Amino acid sequence: MKAQTISGLGVDLAEVSRVRRLAADPRFLKRVFTPGELAYALKSKNKFERLAARFAVKEAVIKALDETALPLNSIEVENTPSGSPKVTVKGRPGLRLLVSISHTRAYAVASVIAFKA
Ligand SMILES: CC(C)(COP(=O)(O)OP(=O)(O)OC[C@H]1O[C@@H](n2cnc3c(N)ncnc32)[C@H](O)[C@@H]1OP(=O)(O)O)[C@@H](O)C(=O)NCCC(=O)NCCS
């Protein structure tokens, strides 16, 4: 594996109950999540944990990149067949990010490492 320089690190902790409350508004869902993220989260029984985890990833990406103006729905979390998450930013094909997620009934946490292009 080629050595790459880390350019940023971000972490975020999201409260599942807060995301559950906000998710009652379809405008929030549209502003924050992509259709693929909604489909992945809503098919599971712990849907609000998964939405909170994706919310945390987006905040962690913003921290790792130090770009507070990045639209939340331009950041997308997808899962590989093994369940492992990956994250991309729309219009930034060269950007390399690493992500890890964990969630419980109460909280979701995500950490993100950004690499120099
Ligand atoms: C994959 C595994 C590590 C997830 O851990 P967990 O404690 O069950 O769940 P967490 O809330 O911490 O993590 C869930 C997130 O892990 C991520 N994940 C899932 N599979 C993954 C994998 N293969 N690699 C990296 N991340 C993975 C996903 O992002 C998932 O959240 P999402 O589905 O919303 O995207 C776990 O299910 C596992 O397979 N452990 C192997 C050992 C084992 O079976 N232990 C149980 C013994 S009783």
93 lines ligand 1 (CB under 6 A): no
Ligand 1, atom 19: closest residue by C-alpha:
83
Share of the chain above pLDDT 70, in %: 99
Tell me whether residue 11 is in a domain.
yes
Residues 6+ positions from 76 with CB-CB distance below 8 Å: 34, 36, 37, 87, 88, 89, 90
Task: Note the Cα 71 to chain centre separation in Å.
Answer: 12
pLDDT digits (tens, 9 = 90+) for 4-30: 899 999 999 999 999 999 999 999 999
Q: Tell me the C-alpha distance between 50 and 70, whole Å.
A: 21
Helix, strand or coil, per DSSP, at residue 21: helix
82 lines ligand 1 (CB under 6 A): yes
The two tokens of residue 116 are 């120099």
Tell me whether residue 52 is in a domain.
yes
pLDDT at 37: 98
Q: Tell me the C-alpha distance between 114 and 70, whole Å.
A: 15
Tell me whether residue 41 is in a domain.
yes
Q: Tell me the C-alpha distance between 81 and 84, whole Å.
A: 7
Q: What are phi and psi of 47, to 5 degrees?
A: -60, -40
Tell me whether residue 48 is in a domain.
yes
103 lines ligand 1 (CB under 6 A): yes
Q: In which band, very low, low, confident or very high, does the pLDDT at 1 lie, cut at 50, 70 and 90?
A: low
- CATH classification of the domain holding 86: 3.90.470.20
Q: Tell me the C-alpha distance between 62 and 112, whole Å.
A: 9
What total number of domains does the chain contain? 1
Question: Which domain, by its residues, includes 79?
Answer: 6-115
Tell me whether residue 54 is in a domain.
yes
102 lines ligand 1 (CB under 6 A): yes
Tell me whether residue 1 is in a domain.
no
pLDDT greater than 80 at residue 2? no
Task: Kindly give the distance from the C-alpha atom of residue 71 to the centroid of ligand 1, in angstroms, as a whole number.
Answer: 28
Q: Tell me the C-alpha distance between 96 and 98, whole Å.
A: 7
pLDDT at 117: 78
